[in-house]
Structure 1
């Protein structure tokens, strides 16, 4: 099982944090007739982006939870992930560079090229992630990509 990053949690004494924040903070502004600002449990004013229109606090998932949910979702789907129009433009641009006499492509050929390209990229991601885990890291780095491509072997014609 892969290691995951753990955020360091710092616990502070309430009396200590209150005395240090009182010593370093500026005096509060004069009372105004406007509505009081909402404060977080630590005493800082909450920004407007942290709450929904209904007044509820925004839901924040732990780090990696949404990523794992997306991985499971994309593993279940069978549709292509790269948008078709930019991919087709890129294929036509590359083919025009290498063979200017080829100007027309059938739809089936473009879909086949896109499926092959996505399959190659998914396998490369898998191999690079295995290299990352082998190095006892969580973050995928450029050297993992390079090692995965180098170890890919001759079984792949591209």
Structure 2
């Protein structure tokens, strides 16, 4: 025998054992197969080497156990009241992006400008500058409104706080 034939015969894999098609419990591949619902049980269709497909009837208790063991995703614990609000405050104080969407703001500007003159055209930079100034004004107004609410020993802002802040600024008629 040559050396090459000795190597190939030595390292040949043994014949794989063929397991019967029917198993006691479904494998992981069962979750990727077609499932149909019977009255109070699931019918699982498994691929097989036979001409007929192999079907397993699994009761609700077994499916509950299967789903229970395979389900790894857990929902996070609910956060305490105010935690998410404080997180959002920190996030928005760090950020510099615009908070109002561009297209709705642009439509509003065009609608207001149409009352004064029709067929007006806007540069995109002009609408961007308008949006920056509007957001800056609104943020400062809400800061003053919050101070008015705190002065009234409240945490929640109300419309009367906005009116007072505007009156103190000298904006209200």
Q: Against the structure 1 CA distance between its residues 91 and 56, is the aligned structure 2 distance closer, same or farther, given a 3 Å change threshold?
A: same
- Report the CA distance between 1:138 and its aligned residue: 0.8
Give the aligned partner of residue 154 of structure 2. 137
- Report the CA distance between 1:150 and its aligned residue: 1.0
- Report the CA distance between 1:149 and its aligned residue: 1.1
Give the aligned partner of residue 22 of structure 1. none
- Report the CA distance between 1:94 and its aligned residue: 0.3
- Report the CA distance between 1:56 and its aligned residue: 3.7
Give the aligned partner of residue 122 of structure 1. 139
Give the aligned partner of residue 124 of structure 2. 107
Supply the RMSD in Å over aligned alpha carbons.
Answer: 1.8
| Structure with greater contact order relative to length (CA < 8 Å, sep ≥ 6) | 1
The TM-score normalised by the length of structure 2 is: 0.55
Tell me the secondary structure at the aligned position of residue 122 of structure 2. Answer: coil
Give the aligned partner of residue 108 of structure 2. 90
Unaligned runs of 5+ in 2: 1-58, 62-70
**Number of residue-to-residue matches in the alignment:** 104
Give the aligned partner of residue 93 of structure 2. 75
Task: Report the Cα distance in structure 2 between the residues aligned to 1:113 and 1:55, rounded to whole angstroms.
Answer: 45
Unaligned runs of 5+ in 1: 1-32, 36-52
Task: Report the Cα distance in structure 1 between the residues aligned to 2:73 and 2:96, rounded to whole angstroms.
Answer: 39
- Report the CA distance between 1:103 and its aligned residue: 1.5
Q: Does 1:62 align with 2:80?
A: yes
Task: Report the Cα distance in structure 2 between the residues aligned to 1:57 and 1:78, rounded to whole angstroms.
Answer: 31
- Report the CA distance between 1:153 and its aligned residue: 2.8
Higher strand share: 2
Q: Against the structure 1 CA distance between its residues 78 and 55, is the aligned structure 2 distance closer, same or farther, given a 3 Å change threshold?
A: closer
